[in-house]
Chain A
Amino acid sequence: MGDVILTMKGIDKSFPGVHALDHVDLELRKGEVHALMGENGAGKSTLMKVLTGIYHKDSGTITYEGREVEFSNPREAQDAGIVIVHQELNMLGHLTVAQNIFIGREYMKGKLIDDKKMNEEARKLFDQLGIDIDPTETMSRLTVGKQQMCEIAKAISHEAKVIVFDEPSAALTEAEIEELFKIIRDLRNKQMGIIYISHRMDEIKVITDRVTVMRDGGYVGTLITKDCTKDDIINMMVGRVIYEDPKTESAVAKDAPVVLKVEHLNAGRMVKDVSFELRKGEILGFSGLMGAGRTETMRALFGADPKQSGDIYVNGEKIEIRTPQDAVQHGIGYLSEDRKRYGIVVDKSVAENSTMASLENYMKGMFIDKKKENDVAQKYVELLRTKTPGVDQLVVNLSGGNQQKVVIAKWLVRNCDILIFDEPTRGIDVGAKSEIYQLMNELVEEGKSIIMVSSEMTEILRMSDRIVVMCEGRKTGELGIEEATQERIMHAATLRE
């Protein structure tokens, strides 16, 4: 490790209602691979966005190569030599590899683009990195791993001094990761500073020199990787005190009937051979890190996305779910993690949203029975304690928590027995959160069954009777609430094949 190249000190950033970064420190040296770790929502990405000028910090200082800097956009950061390799790829699928790498700064020969020279330069770059990619290949024809390599090559071609990898390995195969690590070691030897964001504990141990851990937007500490164990890091990541009491024992009888059974579900890249059971009156928590395939599992189960294989049984009977219609027919309701896109129709009223899934029951002959519709909407507004001036209020005017209640009402009006709650409290303030929790408890007491996908450890431990943990599309653990601890869940969530 060489001299310090980048220091972020006391970085503070607030968004309306959220203190996203609370005086975070980070120090990066030349020739160092520095891991940045933390649970979902710990503030890692926000910190990197502040560094590269996508967000502007409220206070704190960034010192880069001995000078205090503040970039106003990613382009400026890039020009100064700080580049970020994004998790989601910013590629132009129709162009070739070389054209992608040099977009916006093409080599010219007179008035014309010198593609030959660009191909040569790209090839040189790849040789230097020891990657075997044909620069003339169309980008969309490469595997995701190769596309990632191209992003890295592009970053390096900017004469970067600091490279940020934002979960680079999430979509890579074992062999590709090996290749990636080789490149990273190379870059380290060339005295570049590398920030490596990942959830994968074993990778951190292999590739990084130091680890900085963040939690809830705050700085926890920095460790020398080779001197610490995996457990040390996990403890730092989850070390929060849980204010609300976690559930200690399941309220569900051991012999409660299984209402939903999923066997060997496969769907796309993100759902691999997932099997689980849901019992009557149970809250089944689905835990895992970002990109573990939980939402994808739920969407495939619900028929929102096509699945390749897998059997689904409701109340012991095998059923076929091809579209959301089928799922709803069988009494399954899905509360999406992205409320605005998939949950509500924002410029329609509370009443209209409430009866969306069960309009046929609110008809008087050919016409919608407006009174009956309003009555039922009103009933659930009261039952769920939704704060709205009236049932004819447009949903867009409600707060996040109340919008969520409208979505819940939609499925209750439909009288669904199996409810899938995907991140039910995301973007909802604390007060509304506990109301949603209370509501979920009431629902299971009434005999409904809930699958709750959540990225918040506290939420999982507080609400679930049983916990399924996923990692990279596979089920990697199943814990009864009695045996579940943050550490055990985190272990399963980082358990790779």
Chain B
Amino acid sequence: MEKIKQNAIVKKIGFNRLVLIGVWILLYILFAILTPVMKPNTSFVSYSRILSIMQYACFMGFLSLGVTFVIATGGIDFSIGPVMFCAALMGGYQLTSRGWPLAACLLICVLVGTAFGILNGLLVTYGGLPSFITSMASMMIAKGVGSVFTKTQSVSWPQSTAPGGWYRNLLSIKAGGVDLPIGLLILFAGAAICAVILNKTKAGRYILCIGSNREAVRLSGVNTKKWETLAYILCGMLAGLAAIFYVAKNTTVQPGLGDTFNNDAIAGCVMGGTSMAGGSASIGGTLIGVLIIALLQEGILAMGYQSHYQYIITGIIVLVVVYVDLRGRRRRN
């Protein structure tokens, strides 16, 4: 075991991440075997399913990446799902009901997300409010704003074939009769940027250190409030980006929803090795975590169960993963 851990390649990727990849493969095999058993004449192994998993992972991925920054500071953001919906509703409403150009509407999505990030960040750092209650309050505000803005109507973004439907190509593009998951590439690119921010820039360095020991960083003469706020802003912005990929997959958005995605995003994050206690985070881990969540979601649906099972499973996953992390920490101290 130790030998494997010391292997150069293993070290480079990270042992835990390799285990997660293994889990993903095992789960895939499991679903491949179980799906025909549970639901005769259905197959799990198909390109369209892979594509579906990838598409789900896309918007979840952006949500998860964002919340990784916040969790790294030792905080939490429960508003990401509803903020994503709010952004999609506002952008889509401008597009469909007011006839704004598509590019502007995509920008609106990102801006709405960023605005909520700023709100959360300021309340938590400068207001001194607990992050969980702040973000739950802004979750309500996001739901309300979304509904009010669209007058409680759901919004349908244009289909691929319709004019202004090119945004769907961001998720997947048809080339020679095959759907290519472009979105996944964009997600990976986004993740790469996030990884650079987290590991190579001042912002990332301070965000991680704040999560580990806020007071020591403050006493080093660092403006901790500024950097902590930035984590929330990044999180909000990425939720706005996630909105674009959500509508590219689903086109229709309903007001008043979105909170179910919070847990999936957080689950992806903690599974990937980001500690709820703050201070350590892994972008690569988050990505794999999200892919596992996406696979679970697809697998559960494929076996003929409804997504309700997914709620239970992610709930339990978060509890278990966080418990393991807690115990590890306690033992080290």
Q: Does A touch B (CB under 8 Å) in the complex? A: yes
User: A360 vs B206: C-alpha distance in the bound complex, in angstroms?
Assistant: 12
Tell me, rounded to whole Å, the shortest Cβ–Cβ distance linking A392 to chain B: 12
Taking CB atoms, residues of chain A closer than 8 Å to B209 are 345, 348, 352, 356
Interface residue count on the A side (C-beta < 8 Å): 30
- A341: nearest chain-B partner, CB-CB: B215
Q: Does B150 contact A (CB under 8 A)?
A: no
- Is there contact, CB below 8 Å, between A347 and B202? no
**Cα A304 to Cα B224 with chains together (Å):** 13
Give bound CA distance, A323 to B218, whole Å: 9
Tell whether A346 pairs with B212 under 8 Å between CB atoms, given A325-B223, A352-B205, A360-B202.
Answer: yes
**Which residues of chain B in 248-299 are interfacial with respect to chain A, using CB atoms and an 8 Å cutoff?**
279-280
Given contacts A347-B279, A363-B202, contact A342 B221 (CB under 8 A): no
The distance in angstroms between the C-alpha atoms of A343 and B209, with both chains bound, is: 12
B-contact 0/1 string along A312-353, CB 8 Å cutoff? 000000000001110111000010100001111111100010
Whether B212 pairs with A367 at a CB distance below 8 angstroms is no
User: Which B residues lie within 8 Å of A367 (CB)?
Assistant: 196, 200-201
In the complex, which residues of chain B have a beta carbon less than 8 angstroms from the beta carbon of A304?
A: 218-219
B212 touches A345 (CB 8 A): yes
Tally of A-B Cβ pairs under 8 angstroms: 68
Closest to A360 in B: B202
Contact residue among B205, B217, B280 (Cβ-Cβ distance under 8 Å from A347): B280
- Range of interface residues on chain B? 20 to 34
**In whole Å, how far is A18's beta carbon from the nearest beta carbon of chain B?**
20
Instruction: Quote the shortest CB–CB distance from B192 to chain A (angstroms).
Output: 13
Are the C-beta atoms of B200 and A342 separated by less than 8 Å? no
Give which listed residue, B206, B213, B221, B222, contacts A346 with CB less than 8 A: B213
Indicate whether A359 reaches chain B with its CB closer than 8 angstroms: yes
Knowing A348-B208, A348-B209, say if A324 contacts B201 (CB, 8 Å).
no
Closest chain A CB from B32 CB (angstroms): 40
Q: Let me know if B220 is at the binding interface, CB within 8 A.
A: yes
A345–B214 Cα distance when bound, in Å, is: 9
Q: Which residue of A lies closest to B275 (CB)?
A: A347
B:218-232 near A, CB below 8 Å: 218-223
Assess whether B216 is in contact with A368, with CB atoms less than 8 Å apart: no
Contact of A347 with B212 in the complex, beta carbons under 8 Å: yes
- Contact status B218-A341, CB under 8 Å: no
Does B212 lie within 8 Å of A324, measured CB to CB?
no
Knowing A341-B215, A345-B209, A345-B216, the reply to whether A327 touches B200 (Cβ < 8 A) is: no
- Indicate if the CB atoms of B280 and A324 lie closer than 8 Å: no
Assuming the contacts A344-B213, A367-B196, A368-B200, asked whether A324 and B205 have C-beta atoms less than 8 A apart, the reply is no
Of B200, B206, B223, most buried by chain A (CB within 10 Å of CB) is B200
Tell me which of A336, A347, A359, A370 contacts B219 (CB under 8 A): A336
Q: Which residues of A contact B219 (CB under 8 A)?
A: 302, 304, 324, 334, 336, 342-343
Q: Give min CB distance, B276 to chain A, whole Å.
A: 15
Q: Complex formed: what's the CA distance from A410 to B205 in Å? A: 15
* Interchain CA distance A344-B206 in the complex, whole Å: 13
List, in ascending order, chain B residues with CB within 8 A of A323's CB: 218, 223
Pairwise interchain contact A368-B215, C-beta atoms closer than 8 A: no
Contact B221 A329 (CB under 8 A): yes
Within 8 A of A (CB), among B239-254: none
| In the complex, A357 has a CB within 8 A of chain B | yes
Give Cα distance in the complex from A368 to B203, angstroms.
10
A366 within 8 A of B: yes
A-chain residues with CB within 8 Å of residue B196 when the two chains form the complex? 367
User: Is the CB–CB distance between A324 and B202 below 8 Å?
Assistant: no
Cα distance, A111 to B28, chains bound together (Å): 58
Contact A324 B213 (CB under 8 A): no
Interface bits A87-117 vs B (CB < 8 Å: 1, else 0): 0000000000000000000000000000000
CB-based contact A344/B216 at 8 Å: yes
CB atoms of A341 and B202 under 8 A apart: no
In whole angstroms, what is the CA distance A307 to B216 when docked? 20
Q: Name the CB-closest residue of A to B215.
A: A342
Q: Which residue of A lies closest to B212 (CB)?
A: A345
Closest chain A CB from B330 CB (angstroms): 15
Partner of A325, one of B212, B216, B222: B222
**Are A359 and B212 in touch, CB under 8 angstroms?**
no
Determine how close the nearest CB of chain A comes to the CB of B332; give it in whole angstroms: 8
Asked, given contacts A342-B216, A344-B213, whether A359 binds B202 with beta carbons under 8 Å apart, the answer is yes
B205 to chain A, nearest CB (A): 6
Tell me how far the C-beta of A162 lies from the nearest C-beta in chain B, rounded to whole angstroms.
Answer: 34
User: Once the chains are docked, how many angstroms separate the CA of A394 from the CA of B280?
Assistant: 13
Closest CB in chain B relative to A85 CB, distance in Å = 30
Are A359 and B205 in contact (CB-based, < 8 A)? Answer: yes
A304, B216: Cα distance in complex, Å? 11
A278 nearest CB across to chain B (Å): 19
Decide if A324 touches B218 in the complex (CB within 8 Å). yes
> Which of B209, B218, B221 is most buried by chain A, counting CB atoms within 10 A of its CB?
B221
Please, how many angstroms separate the alpha-carbon atoms of A323 and B222 in the complex? 9
Q: Within the complex, which residue of B220, B223, B280 is in contact with A356, where a contact is CB–CB below 8 Å?
A: B220
B68 to A: closest C-beta gap in Å: 17
Closest to B204 in A: A368
Bound CA span A359–B205, Å: 9
CB distance A343 to B216 under 8 Å?
yes
Chain B positions near chain A (C-beta within 8 angstroms): 196, 200-202, 205-206, 208-209, 212-213, 215-223, 279-280
15 further interface pairs, Cβ-Cβ under 8 Å (given A347-B280, A352-B209): A323-B218, A324-B218, A325-B223, A327-B221, A341-B213, A343-B216, A344-B213, A348-B209, A356-B217, A359-B202, A367-B200, A367-B201, A368-B200, A368-B201, A414-B221
11 contacts between A and B (CB under 8 A): A324-B219, A325-B222, A328-B220, A342-B215, A342-B219, A344-B216, A345-B209, A345-B216, A348-B208, A359-B202, A366-B201
Please report A residues at the B interface, Cβ cutoff 8 Å: 302, 304, 323-325, 327-329, 334, 336, 341-348, 352, 356-357, 359-360, 363, 366-368, 370, 410, 414
User: 4 shortest A-B CB distances, which residue pairs?
Assistant: A328-B221, A357-B220, A356-B220, A345-B213
